[in-house]
Amino acid sequence: MFICTLFHVKTSIVSCGRLCDERPVFFLWFDWSEKKRHVILQVSVATIEARENQIGRSNSNIELITQLFSLIEHGILGKRQALNDNTKRMSKKIMLLGSGELGKEFVIAVKRLGHYVIAVDSYDNAPAQQVADEREVIDMLDGTALDTIVSRHKPDIIVPEIEAIRTERFYDYEKQGIQVVPSARAANFTMNRKAIRDLASIELGLRTARYRYAASLEELQTAVREVGIPCVVKPLMSSSGKGQSTVKSEEDIEKAWNYSQSGRRGDIAEVIVESFVKFHTEITLLTVTQKNGTTLFCPPIGHRQERGDYQESWQPCFISDSHLKEAQEIADKVTRSLIGCGIWGVEFFLADDGLYFSELSPRPHDTGMVTLAGTQNLSEFELHARAVLGLPIPEITMLQAGASAVVLAGSAGTKPLYIGVEEALREPRTDIRIFGKPTTRPHRRMAVTLAYDKLGCNLQALKEKAIANAAKVTVVSE
């Protein structure tokens, strides 16, 4: 026994036993439940009408389709495609580890390309989980819990979005044939500031700020004396500026240590202490490494930070050709060493005495949310999706100028509401992305406003427009 359905992509094409003739192509779907396989048949209208005249008008749609199927089985009519297990696997199963706002945009991008996503986070209803096919809630620093969900879902691809993951497990997953993005090596190096800084400074010889490490308050006091005041203290594992502070006097050292421990991600207490670089520009160079193509670079993105977290970003950020070439060469050198495919956010300081390598993220970058303003032919999330899936990226083209500004929560709470969105959207050439985070806390990034205009416009005015729109939006919660 089989179940047979005749359908068209827009409308039903069977009416009173007569096939409508205004559609050029019909599809027949056959389902043998006991064999658990499907067949899609594509048949032209003219062919079906010819066969209809030969077999006679049927009072039963099923009878007509059954006779058509018999002709197909004997190779007389139509084109048939069996959808067996191998064909179905053309749709990749992707496990996203960390499901914040950047992960949400990535999920949307891969879903548009026809793939299946399991979104994982430490809390339920995280932004990316709201648009994924399935979700898991675990402590990703628990290696056993991580192994369990990987074994259960058997993903083709694992995409980390945050730092707080037991990344050592990635090497085993690669041995099992799972693609880790960008690679197990890259994830392990870049999820820890110590590993990536030593790689950049010691192994690759890149210019960085002077730095030391400290695993206790006493070691931090020593490190600050060696690096000098002012300096910046950061947990080895953190994101969005959490735990990061500037030491401007000896009285700030103990405060910096306590803050680093409250804002760290994971179980590593150690911090990095960096000398303060007197830069005039801070940029992100989004770098795309491909499976079967050359390394590509997006136009530089400028950004401003407070509390170690980005507040505004804009694209393009104009720097000299020589500095751009140097930044591209450094980004290419680092990503080649780490290996793997995907988008990387490579951060630089531009000072009066030249370019300094700052940090690197092996995933879409928060400052790159400006690309949601249509500044490029492909957003950073679409670029990441294509690179991860091994799809071609012929070029990255700058289409228009853009700016982004963050909308922050003012207090802790639940069930956030957004007041002032309508007012913000009254401005032409603007947009907003609300992330859908279920809870708030002071300074938590909840949304981003976007502004865009033609290339060559007044970038400062564009930034001010995005900032003004962000100020119109207030987050209230219970």
Q: Which of 366, 380, 382, 431 is catalytic?
A: 366
23 is catalytic: no
From 231, 353, 354, 341, select the one nearest 292 (Cα to Cα). Answer: 341
From 257, 253, 229, select the one nearest 243 (Cα to Cα). Answer: 257
pLDDT at position 427 is 94
Cα(422)–Cα(450) distance, integer angstroms: 14
Residues recorded for the chain:
478
Q: What are the E-state strand segments in 71-149? A: 79-83, 93-97, 116-121, 134-137
Cα(63)–Cα(49) distance, integer angstroms: 15
445 is catalytic: yes
Cα(158)–Cα(173) distance, integer angstroms: 9
Q: Which of 99, 190, 367, 430 is catalytic?
A: 367
Cα(67)–Cα(71) distance, integer angstroms: 7
439 phi, psi to nearest 5 deg: -135, 160
Cα(316)–Cα(463) distance, integer angstroms: 12
Q: Which of 198, 219, 359, 427 is catalytic?
A: 359
pLDDT at position 67 is 55
Cα(348)–Cα(453) distance, integer angstroms: 26
414 is catalytic: no
359 is catalytic: yes
Contacts 24+ apart (CB under 8 A), 112-120: 113/385, 113/386, 113/389, 113/391, 115/91, 115/389, 116/91, 116/92, 117/93, 118/93, 118/94, 118/149, 118/153, 118/155, 120/95, 120/96, 120/149
pLDDT at position 240 is 65
Q: Please list the rounded mean pLDDT of every run of 10 residues in the chain (478 residues).
A: 40 34 41 38 43 44 53 46 48 97 98 98 97 98 97 98 93 98 94 88 94 96 95 84 88 94 82 93 97 96 90 97 97 96 97 93 96 98 98 97 98 97 97 98 97 97 98 96
CB distance 440 to 411 below 8 Å: yes
Query: What is the DSSP code (8-state) at residue 376?
Result: B
List all residues 6 or more positions away from 35 whose beta carbon is below 8 Å from its beta carbon: none
CB distance 43 to 28 below 8 Å: yes
List the Cα angle 13/17/20 in 5-degree steps: 35
Q: Which of 98, 100, 241, 266 is catalytic?
A: 241
Report the sign of the C-alpha dihedral through residues 360, 186, 239, 375, in that order: positive
pLDDT at position 268 is 81
Cα(83)–Cα(214) distance, integer angstroms: 57
149 phi, psi to nearest 5 deg: -75, -30
Q: Which of 99, 208, 239, 404 is catalytic?
A: 239
Q: Which of 252, 270, 274, 347 is catalytic?
A: 347
Residue for token digits 């192509």? 25
Report the sign of the C-alpha dihedral through residues 270, 275, 278, 279, in that order: negative
Residue for token digits 């940090």? 359
DSSP character string of 244-277 = -EEE-STTHHHHHHHHHHHH--SS---EEEEEPP
State the amino acid at position 129 in one-letter form: Q
Q: Which of 264, 358, 445, 453 is catalytic?
A: 445
Within 10 angstroms of residue 208's Cβ, the number of other Cβ atoms is 18
Residue for token digits 């827009």? 10
Report the sign of the C-alpha dihedral through residues 381, 386, 389, 390, in that order: negative
Residue for token digits 């690197």? 360
List all residues 6 or more positions away from 199 whose beta carbon is below 8 Å from its beta carbon: 189, 334, 337, 338
241 is catalytic: yes
248 phi, psi to nearest 5 deg: -110, -10
pLDDT at position 86 is 44
pLDDT at position 154 is 97
